Structure 1
Amino acid sequence: MDVQDFLEQGQGREEDKREAWQLFQQAYERQMKGELEEAVNLYKKSLDAHPTAEAHTFLGWTYSFMGRLDEAIEECHKAIAQDPDFGNPYNDIGAYLIEKGEFDEAIVWFKKAMQARRYESPAFPHLNLGRVYEKKGLWTEAIDAYKQALALNPNYALAKKSLGRLISSLN
């Protein structure tokens, strides 16, 4: 994520936005180190300083690492309310619903993610949609979704692997 995108969100004082950005970066570092409780606290402080869709989404992601999927989904809904154009929380809700075994419900969220105007990784919801279709036994739809993920990102290793595995299993 780009600092400029973060700082341009919403109204507020510049110093509050910069503090929120610094707290967000610290939270992300802690999250990647597996220090999840500390990451949660830092994301919440970032949101207190200046609420952003990214901070809500990443707080949700941290909750998902902790197995707290309903709270993760709730944070994604807050992110969408903050910035409906931001694609990540739509995809994340779908991914969390897959984890909960709610495949049909997940499809809607991946399709919403595909329509988002601001999304750094637009191939992700296509791969995830392919995963759902594959679980449902909809092989042609799954193959098409994996191919679309690769059309958006030809270097997407997981999409290549998923497509190759599915095609070879059908032969």
Structure 2
Amino acid sequence: MGGLTSAGGRLPPSFTSLYRLFLRTSAVSVLGHRPAFRQLRILWRPCFESAAQVLHRVQRTSGDQERERLQRWYNVWEARMDNTLSLLSVSARSRGLAHRATRNLQSVMRARSAGGVQKQKWNPQLSPSSEHYKPITIVRGTRAGNRLDKIKQSAQVEENAWNALGEAITMAEGRDGITLGRLRNR
């Protein structure tokens, strides 16, 4: 949790205990499969970071109204995380809907991290100013230009699919009072 404490002081022990409990529960929910656990941790990490920021703001805020508003937000978040821990716990004990949902969330994260444009890998034998690292100019109408158009179309389809999935996740979170994690922008 190291990065969360440095932003504005120490976090309450109840928060760090909740994070550790979440880590243990999510590891058990994927039956100790380390790559799956890593994907779930990446998925839920932004939720804990935003809650940590709210706690830091509660500690720094002097206005009673603002502090009360932030505390209400945190209480709702904590209740949602309790429900999320219940979902992960059921996922660990049964192979029903909760387990399939957890498995699908992990699969979505794996697919998202596998997709995208390949980056140019560093080669220690080449100088930093080598032609290998310079961007390639692509002319439209050529074979490479047509491939680039197909890649852009594919990226648009992928973005539309993620938007639809995001709406479905938001509706499920609102209905059941859980948190299914947050995707960070690449």
Structures share fold, TM-score greater than 0.5: no
Q: Max radius of gyration: which structure?
A: 2
Question: Normalising by structure 2, what TM-score?
Answer: 0.23
Question: Normalising by structure 1, what TM-score?
Answer: 0.25
